Structure 1
């Protein structure tokens, strides 16, 4: 696969997103539909109330369309692409239903956590089932040990990985441009790994998503004209987990997705500390809000987290490659 074909995959996702996003923003503004800021969130985020959301639909559809046509054109359409697109679509659909209920039905809670969890687990079960049917290895590489075939336990790992990282990216999506940047870096790292392994099918998926995210960022940078919503964040997290599995570099996501891990850990620490000690460790969680409450500007938090993500991804690539 030449550089021109790889560039085409990025440009395709970017162009479709750039063209469609103004239409979606215009629709939400005409209908006066927008996100309602949570009461427990930072008070200065109240100015964001009414901002259109569900922008993830655009870059998600753009990436899916681009992946299908570029992979068919390059003759690399595969079961790996099918599995990845399945997770992107299913998790995106769960996020869409959650956002739709919040925005159109005016119910702030959207889907219940139980409903989303059932859908996410179902996705993991089907992902594993197809993997077994297609004889995709059920080996998990352990540090200092190497690949170990763990059989059916690999299915439990897949479910945990998909559910965990889809929710981790969802938790991170709290500041303008934060996930657009950190997810682009993570997918960029996996694009390099896929290229090194000559898994051109996975490479195309990564590149089209990156193109879509770059296009989305132009509308999501501060002050955001639109948010990605759960439809975008849940799909992106599930997609990262799926790609790490298909590349058999599962543990790499702990480093490549370090920002998402930090955000999730901060919530777990905060909740555990409050329940056991009655005290909070952070001023607010997820941790990006802690830095906001400490006086950091939104841009400073976003750029710092991007830098952490870039350094962690670079370190991981050095280790793997």
Structure 2
């Protein structure tokens, strides 16, 4: 497998121009446990962002792991706690982008749970997946260094998140008395950035239902300007932060100015570039899929493992270059 930085560059080069991205020079992994901001942008300007750290699903014989518990030397904080805290800077949820190889790479991965009758390791498109940091944090608490397989099981293929295939099932929240707009969002099928937010919330909500905690707290979270939902329960459960407020704060009415900068080929301000490895933007996230939306092999998941055929710069652009 590639290292995380190389894997991200190969992914973005292969996905361009369907997606746009700008890579910065800041190395924020040690400080914040964070690499990239990802934004899904709909045609009407509704958008969803998350702060993501790249991780490799690693194999040592029949033992599989993802180093969520990594700590830098002399630091008493795990990278996962830094990532969740760093997401506050941008008022988005924290997540991991996982590079999980192809079915041959995952052949010895053992998970006793299936997906619609398909073995966990044989799912389509999971070579590049994402999992909320709250899900990974819970897996670490339950399984420690063996949390990788559990997190992989709950991870969602990146290319399917906003896809039109299938109908997303309703989410039944533990909290009652939800605002009508939030209740409707959870009950009804969604598209584009709304679909991304709903699908990433789904495994978090599933964990919350299984927690032996008190009834859901009905106290309201402090609203964030510009978010789609202003009235959200501040329920904590056994998570480190209120999960509904954390997962849905990235869903916005309008595209942030620094995302417009990336789309227009401008350099975002220093308060953004100094704290990120880069920004990924998936425009027209709610547009109907076309045959050209996928790689020639049918899935970005087929890009891993294996080095590119020749060494060449990634196909993305640096800040300030034309789109």
- The bucket for the TM-score relative to the shorter chain is under 0.3
Greater RCO (CA < 8 Å, at least 6 residues apart): 2
More strand, by proportion = 2
- What TM-score, normalized to structure 1? 0.28
More helix, by proportion = 1
